[in-house]
Structure 1
Amino acid sequence: MNRKLLYLGLIMATLTSCFDKDIFPDTPSIAFEDIKFIDTQSTDSLKLTFTFEDGNGDVGLDDGPDLLVPYQIYDLIIDSEDSVITISTDPSRISPPLFKAPVFIGENNGEVEYIFFPGDKVLFSDEDNRPPYSCDSYEIIESDTFYIARNEFYYNFHIEFQRKLGEDSYEPINFRQIFNNPDCSLGNFNGRIPYYDPEGKSGTITYSMLSQAFRLAFLDDVIRVKFYIYDRARNKSNEVVSPDFVLADITQSQ
């Protein structure tokens, strides 16, 4: 838990609000502005800057209240008797259908607590559909490996790196595969744009991603990024694709 929190803390967003009187739709609209690679002695930084417009100014999440439904990090999978499902649960002890129950992760007297809410469960599967182990589908909590469903809305900023293969041909860059590491935190550069003054209906966001993986993964390759955001009402913006770039061409020394 501490390791994951530390990793996510290496992704930062800064936001400058513009208090315009223009009327925008409530669904956010974004546009690419700039991308830079900051070359440092230790951890490098890739900085993506984009503009946004949102009619009700509800871009951004608060890391306090916005860890609860509907922004929880994942749901536990439970059966019809509200029993949690682990990777090793005997199939004969599972009572389908399966449901998703949101989880709140808190702290009590220095101990991490995982609290799930069966009253808010929604249908997940009509049968026991557990896949083989992966960090996408399971969470290790103490000595058990729980079946989970990760929540798309935990992150309000989503980004994918793509490598150019040929003219108009690209493939997603799989950092886990490149580094032969199944850890979900590796290569997950999604993040949470912080909550700000709701009067700001347009502005500029700079999203910084700190990692030593960039130069190892695509130093001389032609790449691009595709990204989108959600507002607090979970309205999805348009998807934006950056221009092609090579790391050396966007590098600045610190």
Structure 2
Amino acid sequence: MKAKNYIGIIFICTLAISCVTPPDNFPSVPEITFNGVQFVPIPNASDSLIVSVDFRDAEGDLGLNPGDNAPPFNAFNFIRDANGNLITYSNRPPNAPRYNPIDWRINQFVNNVQVMDTIWVENNPDHHNIFVRFFIKRGGNYQEYRWSDPPFFTTFNGRFPRILTEDRARAIEGTIQYGMLSSGWRSIFRNDTIRLDIQIQDRNLNKSNVISTPDFTLDQVTRR
């Protein structure tokens, strides 16, 4: 069963826009607090795990649109050899990872020319603006569940869109609801006690504080 069909699709933002001159207590670096978490079973479709965070920011430079893919928001960088050549899977060095969909990309455009090969890449974390880590609690200890490891080779980090449509700096506060869709939540976590750590980032690459959800099981947060 696939652990993830697609992620970050559900996004709902409610906000209050403050004055252009921000209040003294509005931070320039985004500040977030936990609001809630819900598990929403969806018959004959991917179930949704939705985390909600409240935010405050003095400039309002939060969110990335689909077209925001130029550096520093590019998805990945190409790894090259000492001569500046792309490293393909057929000429990979001994330290290169085995094929997986995170470290290798197929038939990518490089300088507007499509390279019909499998190319070694390094993913750019700044392509995302919301970061989610999963932890399972067993025996009183938390162990991170790393989606990027085998067999999934994926991530639930993602993007939420620009909150303000203009570039004029304004202090804003509100709530972000970030939904993660999967057909495998139940099969993976079952009755496990889970905790999520969440962080967001603004367009100046300022990272917010990290907040944690309370411990929960899927049953405890299921929408009835």
Distance 2:120 2:18 in 1: 46
Q: Relative to structure 1, is the Cα distance of residues 81 and 175 closer, same or farther in structure 2, using a 3 angstrom cutoff?
A: closer
Q: TM-score, normalised by structure 2?
A: 0.82
Match of 2:125 in 1: 152
* 1:80-119 → structure 2 map (5 Å cutoff): 80-89=82-91
Higher helix share: 1
Please state how far the C-alpha of 1:50 moved relative to its aligned partner: 0.5
Please state how far the C-alpha of 1:37 moved relative to its aligned partner: 0.8
- Asked if the contact 1:25–1:54 (Cα under 8 Å) also holds between the matched residues in 2, the reply is yes
1:15 matched to 2:18: no
Distance 2:157 2:61 in 1: 19
1:181 matched to 2:151: yes
1:164 matched to 2:137: yes
Match of 1:50 in 2: 53
Distance 1:196 1:174 in 2: 29
Distance 1:190 1:73 in 2: 12
Match of 2:73 in 1: 71
* 1:123-138 → structure 2 map (5 Å cutoff): 129-138=95-104
* 1:210-225 → structure 2 map (5 Å cutoff): 210-225=181-196
What is the identity percentage for the equivalent residue pairs of Structure 1 and Structure 2? Answer: 33
Please state how far the C-alpha of 1:90 moved relative to its aligned partner: 6.8
- Asked if the contact 1:52–1:202 (Cα under 8 Å) also holds between the matched residues in 2, the reply is yes
Match of 2:36 in 1: 34
Superposed CA deviations along residues 70-106 of structure 1, whole A, max 9, x for unmatched, are 1011011123543211122276xxxxxxxxxxxxxxx
Q: TM-score, normalised by structure 1?
A: 0.73
Which consecutive residues of structure 2, in runs of 5 or more, have no partner in the other structure? 108-114
- Asked if the contact 1:157–1:229 (Cα under 8 Å) also holds between the matched residues in 2, the reply is yes
Supply the AA of the counterpart residue of 1:226.
D
Distance 2:6 2:138 in 1: 30
- Asked if the contact 1:157–1:228 (Cα under 8 Å) also holds between the matched residues in 2, the reply is yes
Supply the AA of the counterpart residue of 1:235.
N
Please state how far the C-alpha of 1:46 moved relative to its aligned partner: 1.0
Please state how far the C-alpha of 1:53 moved relative to its aligned partner: 1.1
Aligned residues: 204
Please state how far the C-alpha of 1:192 moved relative to its aligned partner: 0.4
Q: Relative to structure 1, is the Cα distance of residues 176 and 230 closer, same or farther in structure 2, using a 3 angstrom cutoff?
A: closer
Which consecutive residues of structure 1, in runs of 5 or more, have no partner in the other structure? 1-5, 92-127
Supply the AA of the counterpart residue of 1:139.
R
